[in-house]
Amino acid sequence: MSDMEHDRPGTRPVAIVTGGLQGLGLGAVLELGKSGFDVAIVDLPDAPVMPAELSQVEAAGGRCRYYQMDISDLARHGPVLDAIDADFGRLDCLVNNAGIAARPLTDLLELQPDAFDKSVDINLRGTFFLTQAFAKALLSAGKAAPESYKSIIIITSIAAELSFTDRSQYCVTKSALSMVTRLFAARLGAAGIHVHEIRPGLMETPMTAKVGNDTIARLIADGVVPLPRQGQPEDVGKAVAALAAGALPYMTGQPIWTAGGLNIARIL
């Protein structure tokens, strides 16, 4: 647990961010904290090194606590959600950010079943059933009250639509999560629970840095991205915070590209 705690349970909306210790997840945590949320970080390490930037959540008047969980371990979903609810006194938003990239990059025709299955277990299966458990928690005991905006946000990727044949398992899981978003949006809309998809583009994070080549810089230099820079974690974080706060109240089940215009088709 983080030592950044105050005895004020239930006074601020509560967001859960999976994979929140670094990269896009940390960006979401920080922007949610600035926007008035208490934040529960869910991530892998048993003894995490808490990022120094988390002091920004406390500076904004919020609380931040850490919970260890591998989202592919379905048996942990219920106990962790119960612990967060007990610690914070409420549940308002789930940000499904945790996932793994395709490493090493492998041609579609050479991909092995174990690599495919690992991506499915974490990126798709874990996210699906954590979303299911969170939705049930909101629906129980009237927690999806209309006066309190409730949301589920799924971080996918441009790979949900664009094809990359050297990371096929990643594309398959991210495209499937786009359908997961639509399914839960259709099922939960009548209860006042909004479900959103964010599609990050060419982002500068520790995960993308591991690719170890100049592909992204070359694409930007070639004008593939109309806004000519890499995306930053705070770009995704600001989108997450806006959605979680209900800034787009008459929208659900739709992808929001946070990609600098990469999705704009151009032939010249």
Distance CA 263, CA 268 (A): 14
Picking from 205, 218, 171, 161, the residue whose alpha carbon sits closest to that of residue 19 is 205
Tokens of residue 224, six digits: 């593939």
Cβ contact 90:143 at 8 Å: yes
Query: Within 13 Å, how many C-alpha atoms sit on residue 229's CB side?
Result: 4
Q: Active site includes 170?
A: yes
Contact predicate 25/43, CB 8 Å? yes
- In angstroms, the Cα distances linking 264 to 80, 145, 179, 199, 226 are 40, 38, 21, 13, 8
102 close to 159: Cβ distance less than 8 angstroms: no
The distance from CA 33 to its chain's CA centroid, rounded to whole angstroms, is: 15
The answer to whether the CB of 257 falls within 8 A of the CB of 190 is no
Please, what sign has the CA dihedral across residues 185, 188, 190, 196? negative
Yes or no: say if 240 and 32 are a contact pair by the CB < 8 Å rule: yes
Q: If DSSP codes are grouped into helix, strand and coil, which group holds residue 180?
A: helix
66, 67, 149, 170: which one is catalytic?
Answer: 170
Catalytic residues: 170
